[in-house]
Amino acid sequence: MRLNELQLAELASELDEVKAGVMSQLGDKEACYIRRILLTQRLSAISGRILMVLGFLTPWLWVLGVALLALAKILDNMEIGHNVLHGQYDWMNDPVLHSQRFEWDIACDAGSWKRTHNFEHHTYTNIIGKDRDFGYGLLRLSNDFRWRLRNLWQFVTYLLLSTLFQWGVSYHELAGERVFFGKKKPDRINSVSHSDLKKAFFGKGARQLFKDYVFFPLIAGPMWLWVLSGNLVANIIRNLWTSTVIFCGHFTADVHTFTQQQCEGESRGHWYYRQILGSSNFTGPRWFHILTGHLSCQIEHHLYPDMPALHYLTVAPQVQAIAKKYGIAYNSGSFLRQYATVVARIIRYSFPGGASTA
């Protein structure tokens, strides 16, 4: 359903009201919540690393240690890092949880993430040619892109991207700026020099490799191989999980894409309209939502990226009711159902043609 300008203005007003109701009451509840999650993450990381070293007593301790370390990395990446870097807790003025100071436990430099994700992706969500997150330059996920021979094996590409996801995210900005090869697109504006991009990429990546595959194995002494392999497995688990969550929020069967012409001079109401149609939610228990960083409510996150994510479940029924009122499709379903449509989409667009999603 296409909305006229009056309807878009009314849509914006109602969605702004939902946000204002939450943001006006931020306080101890949200601060205690994120600090409790941070404490859980740190205790999981410490316990996991200790238990991996104790794996010589029984392999089950190593398995438990890997699981706890993977949990710590997932919490750091999703419920803490992603949300903190969106500025959701800047109002607390906590130096540990402030978007300008926080650095997370993945290969991607926080500054690069904020440029490509916070600004570019959230501003131009699903606008073909503007949102580099739509397929990450590797996958053809709509017929807006010309089919190429390499798309035939893009499901394998997807599996490799998911396994190495933190490195794909880290390299994303460099690839977009074509730092190592090719020419930069003429309409691309560089906010950071190529030398600074490379410095951040190699510097953060080297620190991550040293921490997980040199420092912690070395201090484990004779258990160094157990710790090294445990860190590798924990990183892979985190990569696969975060990739799956992100793909289920962005690339299900029913998400829409938009042309640059459709979004020229768009109003705030049209931006809201685009966020709803370009996103997907999925359901699950409370602990599941926490592990996704509440990106299980991707629609609400795209509408309100700076709202503390623990409120997304609360405002979701209000957002759904508003979307229904204006005849806007609200894409939500079970996690497995949504993931199945992601896989189907990747496979479908491996071949020429495909239905329009605009």
- pLDDT of 315 above 90: yes
Model's pTM, two decimal places?
A: 0.92
Q: pLDDT band at 57, cuts 50/70/90?
A: very high
Distance of CA 86 to CAs 207, 226, 268, 298, 304, Å? 23, 36, 19, 14, 10
Within 8 A by CB and 6+ apart from 310, the residues are 30, 33, 294
Q: What is the band of 170 on the pLDDT scale with cuts at 50, 70, 90?
A: confident
Beta strands in the chain (DSSP E): 281-283, 332-334
Residue 208: which pLDDT band, with cuts at 50, 70 and 90? very high
Residue 254 has pLDDT above 70, yes or no: yes
Beta carbons of 337 and 330 less than 8 angstroms apart? no
Quick one: residue 356, left, alpha or beta (phi over 0 = left, psi -120 to 50 = alpha)? beta
Whole-angstrom Cα distance, residue 39 to residue 56?
28
- Average pLDDT of every residue of the chain: 92
